[in-house]
Structure 1
Amino acid sequence: MSETDAPPFSATPSPSRCGFVAILGAPNAGKSTLLNRLVGAKLAAVSPKPQTTRFRVRGIVIRGASQIVFVDTPGIFSPRRLLDRAMVKAAWTGAQDADIALLLVDAKTGLTEEVRAIAERLKDTHRPLWLALNKIDLVEKPSLLPLAEALNAIAPFQETFMISATEGDGLERLLDRLADALPEGPWLFPEDDLSDLPDRLLAAEIVREQIYHQTREEVPYDTTVETEEWQEREDGSVAIRCAIVCAKEGQKGILIGKGGQRLKAIGSRARMELERELGRRVHLFLHVLVREGWDEEKARLRAMGLEP
């Protein structure tokens, strides 16, 4: 069993199955959308912009006697800064550690050079490789088989699936096949766990997701979010204070907006999302800091769960 840092937990009688499935692919292939859909909860930030996911997020699905631990990895791209290199490293480490590496390909964009390079490198992971063509609801069906054949000619995929993470097409078959293919062994997490993502980190990710939705150009990529305070209140609500850290003074003004309107909008939408996910009232307080070069600070990247 890989990912040995996970806490041992046996909750089901033998024979049970448990294993890790790394979801890999180019940016914007739909990895985080797929994870959230499979788990049935918001675990990973999702936006139309590429490179939204920055670190590995684990989501847990129970299927019969099997516990499937999905690992959503950052999109694989050509890195420039230390943050980028750490993100790509996290993706490949996820593939090496997993019991099954699932390559997710955007069927609409097809076999790009980026996708080809990922498939070529996957041949050297020495892990069972599976392929899923995503966004099949957006393409003509006759184009899917040639794309699948071209990818299978590059790497030895044991299974191929046609899915739509947004619509849910093909996901039941994918889960059934994964449940049967995982190695026998005890479950590693309690039955009611959906993820090992701490609530403080979930709050930061939901705020960061709204930054991706509501700002443009380099602002979302030059920004990170830190949960500074988490206070449980007597009425059952929670007060959360988050710092939005950006790289340039000009970006601070964009994030705050005229009269503070953009920051209010980010906070309002993030608060509603958090209340849905946590199932209780949330008081969310945001402020913006400028910290030039934060994306080159090794200690900060480690705090985000990345290894520089």
Structure 2
Amino acid sequence: MTDESMNDDTGAVEDGDAVEDGGAADESVAVDEGGAVVAARMPEHPRCGFVALVGAPNAGKSTLLNTLIGSKVSIVSPKVQTTRVRVLGIAVEGDAQMIFVDTPGIFRPKRRLDRAMVAAAWQGAEDADFIGVLFDASRRGVDEDTRGIVARLKEQGRQAILILNKIDLVRRDTLLALTEELNRDGVFTDTFMISAQSGDGVADLRRIIAGRLPEGPWLFPEDQISDMPMRLIAAEITREKLFVQLHQELPYAATVETESWEEFGNGSVKISQVVYVQRESQKAIVLGKGGSRIKRIGQAARTELEAMLEQRVHLMLFVKVREDWENDPERFAAWGLDFKA
């Protein structure tokens, strides 16, 4: 395949239901004068700790994580339970390095995958130095999932901070009533009212968390914002675009895996990914008429990947049927989930 054909922004359906979507973006690489790796800055009195963000599905954890970090490290979707894997986002505030853990939403699981995600969320909370419980303040009353989270923290003798999100959608008297209700069990030391979407109140939240982390050396370089491999991040970005395009047509029946990643001498990268669905009828939905839907998904994913990687991206998407992929131990291992949870 020539580079010219790879740059065709319209994309093309290939054998095996693949869609190539190419585009152009300048690659910018910076090196120091000697070409050596420079050691990360370490403050005189460093602080460092893990901060778990937990909450019911769709409370806004991923949006908050991205706002706290100042860069996108976790995918966001209006659909509940979008996050399947533990996502680390790393930020520096003064002398403190905050390692935020975005966990899957906590709810009453029904499927094996649900159980594994909820187990991963609780493991993230148990291992953390600091816990923030998010609640969507625009909901009508406190839901059972959130009540369960508060009850379990109380049983464990753990304290946390309460983060009321989406306050721009709620009247002040409602916020005060929610604060009073959620603080009755004595689990929360502080209550923060924020809008993760607009960033309102997030700077204060960052500052308070940074000041309460334990003293200790930083665990990551100063400029690192996540520990996720780029192959996994790229797959998650495409899965987000899949959610956006499909809305309610294919809820949770699809997953994305990065099969290959090839860097070229001209600074571009070719990424091949597979979208797995469970039935042939779902495959037709993902592809769309004449491949139109998968083409739009690929274009949206490529645009975001090029901005993130700062290089030209050739994205190849294949759609394949793999029945019962939700019960495949290899998928769980790739996501860092316990198949036996």
Q: Report the equivalent of 1:197.
A: 228
Give ranges in structure 1 of 5+ residues lacking alignment: 1-8
Q: Distance in 2 between the 1:13 and 1:19 partners?
A: 15
Map of 2:127 onto structure 1: 97
Q: How far 1:114 moved relative to its partner? A: 1.9
RMSD: 1.3
Aligned residue in 2 for 1:31: 61
Shift of the alpha carbon at 1:154? Answer: 2.7
Structure 2 residue corresponding to 1:16, chosen from 19, 41, 46: 46
Using the size of structure 1 for normalisation, the TM-score is: 0.94
Residue matched to 1:298: 329
Q: Which residue of 2 aligns with 1:276?
A: 307
2:90 alignment counterpart: 60
Query: What CA distance in whole angstroms lies between the structure 2 residues aligned with 1:278 and 1:125?
Result: 42
1: CA distance between counterparts of 2:157 and 2:308?
Answer: 37
Pick which of 236-245 and 126-135 moved more: 126-135
- One-letter amino acid of the structure 2 residue matched with residue 226 of structure 1: E
1:244 to 258, 261, 275: 275
Deviations 1:163-208 (A, max 9, x none): 0000111111101100100000000000010110111001000000
Question: Match of 2:132, as an amino acid?
Answer: L
Distance of 1:298 and 1:122 partners within structure 2: 30
Residues of 2 paired with 1:233 and 1:160: CA distance? 50
- What are the ranges of 5 or more consecutive residues in structure 2 without an aligned counterpart? 1-38
Other-structure match for 2:203: 172
- Aligned: 1:81 with 2:111: yes
| Higher mean C-alpha displacement, 282-291 vs 121-130 | 121-130
1:230, 1:92 → 2: CA distance?
Answer: 33
Cα distance between partner residues in 2 of 1:249 and 1:125: 46
1:148-174, Cα deviation, whole Å (9 max, x unpaired)? 111111342111100000011111110
Given that 1:99 and 1:128 are in contact with CA atoms closer than 8 Å, whether structure 2 keeps it comes out as no
Mapped pair 1:254 → 2:270? no
Query: In 1, distance between residues paired with 2:186 and 2:252?
Result: 32
Identity of aligned residues (%): 55
Distance 1:182 1:10 in 2: 20
- Looking at structure 2, the residues matched to 101 and 124 of structure 1 have their Cα atoms a distance apart, in angstroms, of 15
4+ long deviations beyond 4 Å: none
Offset, 1:10: 7.3
Matches within 5 A, 1:71-220: 71-109=101-139, 110-217=141-248, 219-220=250-251
Q: Distance in 1 between matches of 2:305 and 2:43?
A: 35
Does the aligned pair in 1 maintain the 2:150–2:187 contact within 8 Å? no
CA contact 1:10–1:186 (8 Å) conserved in 2 = no
Matched, 1:222 2:262: no
Bigger Cα displacement from structure 2, 291-300 vs 260-269: 291-300
Name the SS for the 1:225 alignment partner. strand
Tell me if 1:48 matches 2:75. no
Q: Aligned to 2:316, which of 282, 285, 288?
A: 285
Q: Is the 8 A contact 2:62 2:102 kept in 1?
A: yes
* Whole-Å separation in 1 of the counterparts to 2:187 and 2:206: 20
Q: Which has the higher contact order (CA 8 A, sep 6+)?
A: 2
In 2, are the aligned partners of 1:108 and 1:136 still within 8 Å (CA)? yes
Once the 2 structures are TM-superposed, how far is the Cα of residue 125 of structure 1 from its aligned partner?
Answer: 3.7
Which of structures 1 and 2 has the bigger CA Rg? 2
1:107-141 Cα shifts (integer Å, max 9, x gaps):
00141122111111122344431110000011112
| SS in structure 2 of the partner of residue 13 of structure 1 | coil
Q: Is the 8 A contact 1:81 1:296 kept in 2?
A: no
**In 2: Cα distance, 1:37 partner to 1:279 partner:** 20
